[in-house]
Amino acid sequence: MKKILSNKYLLLVIRIVTGFIFLYAGIEKISDAEGFARTINNYKLLPFSFTNMAALTLPWIEVTTGILLIFGIRVKENAFIISALLGIFIIAISISLLRGLNIDCGCFGTSSGIKIGFLKLFENVLLLLLGIQLIYFGGGSISLQKET
Amino acid sequence: MKIDLKIVFSIIFISSLLGLAYNYFSPKEIPIFPEEKTLKWASDSLFNTTIKDSIEIKDTLNKRREQIEEETEVREKTIKNEVEKEAVKKDVQTEPLSINLKQAYSLYKKNTLFIDAREPEDYRLAHIKNAINLPMDHFDDYKSMLEKIDKDQPIVTYCAGTDCDLSIVLSNVLYDMGYKKLYIFFGGWNEWFNAKYPTETSESKE
């Protein structure tokens, strides 16, 4: 099992897939920062004053980590960041579902109009598992950075 | 699982700075710290000023009301005048007016003077109750009885019915003599009799 999980080609694929997912999600949010701020506000988890700050910085963190993951630079650190983000998203979605809120996920910007739900939760958990896998085993082959 | 937290934080920090910088130059720039839209309590001073304002408003309203009252007064006066003019017009008839049975009966109930323009024979036989006889054909003989009748008094003239015009002739003569409130009960005796309104004979009256 560990052998399969630590397969360097599998890790490469996971790295690139998660990298592109985050890059795409980040770009979508950057294109409509105001809408994303509203989405964050809909979750009613952050104080109103901080929603814009989060809406401005979060997508760029996603984009940066996405790019770095694709290129295989500092994979473990970036995987840690996306795992932390995914953990936050999972908590946020869970709380909102428990509260019975019917709001936009905002996962891939606001244009998709996808509502939060158990599918979204599952998606995030899956990505989190991949992230953890990357943290444990690194980025696999074809990295710009040598394995330490 | 060696994670360099310094790198983690620097990635986050640099990304955040990038985001803020991008926002700064973006055409769709949003404020980093938005002003919270909270409901503000109205201060008491607001109401104090509104009292002052309301007094002013009251003043203007009062002024306006006075204006309106004046206007309505003027309007009412003109309307009254017009109505009075109309009434005067009605009172001062330019010609004897024709009336139907209903109108005749209502006038009868008001003790209006009825003048029978038919021949004395017909009158003696039967006539509208309390009517006096002034036969048109012998007008000069009976003229003297008109002296007792006030010229402002409304008078209804009638004759046998729609096929006679004695009532019309009589009322025109009376009008020329100065009687102004003249009504012609054109339906005449026949209509009155058919309606079974009060009648009398001269024998019973005398």
A23 touches chain B (CB under 8 A): no
Mutate to test the interface with A, among B6, B9, B11, B26 (most CBs of A within 10 A): B11
Q: What is the pLDDT of residue B16?
A: 92
| pTM over cut 0.80 | no
Q: What is the pLDDT of residues B112-121, one digit of tens each?
A: 888 888 888 8
Predicted confidence (pLDDT) at residue A87 exceeds the cutoff of 90: yes
Among positive and negative, which fits the CA dihedral B131, B137, B139, B140? Answer: negative
Is B195 a member of any domain? Answer: yes
CATH assignment at residue B148: 3.40.250.10
Residues B128 and B176 in one domain: yes
Is B191 a member of any domain? Answer: yes
Residues B175 and B129 in one domain: yes
**A57 closest CB neighbour out of B15, B30, B31:** B15
pLDDT band at B205; cut points 50, 70, 90? very low
Q: Residue B169: what are its φ and ψ, rounded to 5°? A: -60, -45
Predicted confidence (pLDDT) at residue B142 exceeds the cutoff of 90: no
Total count of domains within chain B: 2
Contact state of B15 with A53 under an 8 Å Cβ cutoff: no
Residues B75 and B56 in one domain: yes
Residues B85 and B185 in one domain: no
Predicted confidence (pLDDT) at residue A52 exceeds the cutoff of 70: yes
Query: Which residue did the predictor score with more confidence, B54 or B25?
Result: B25
Residues B105 and B171 in one domain: yes
Which residues of B are less than 8 Å from A55 in CB distance?
30
Residues B77 and B133 in one domain: no
State the Cα torsion B103-B108-B110-B112 to the nearest 10°. Answer: 100
Quote the mean pLDDT of chain B. Answer: 81
Residue ranges covered by each domain of chain A? 2-137
β pairing state of B127-128 and B199-200: antiparallel
Query: Which residue did the predictor score with more confidence, A62 or B185?
Result: A62
Q: What is the pLDDT of residue B167?
A: 82
Kindly give the residue spans of alpha helices, DSSP state H, lying in chain B: 5-25, 44-91, 101-109, 120-125, 139-142, 166-177, 188-194, 202-205
Range of the domain at B105: 97-205
Mutate to test the interface with A, among B5, B7, B14 (most CBs of A within 10 A): B7
Note the ipTM here: 0.85
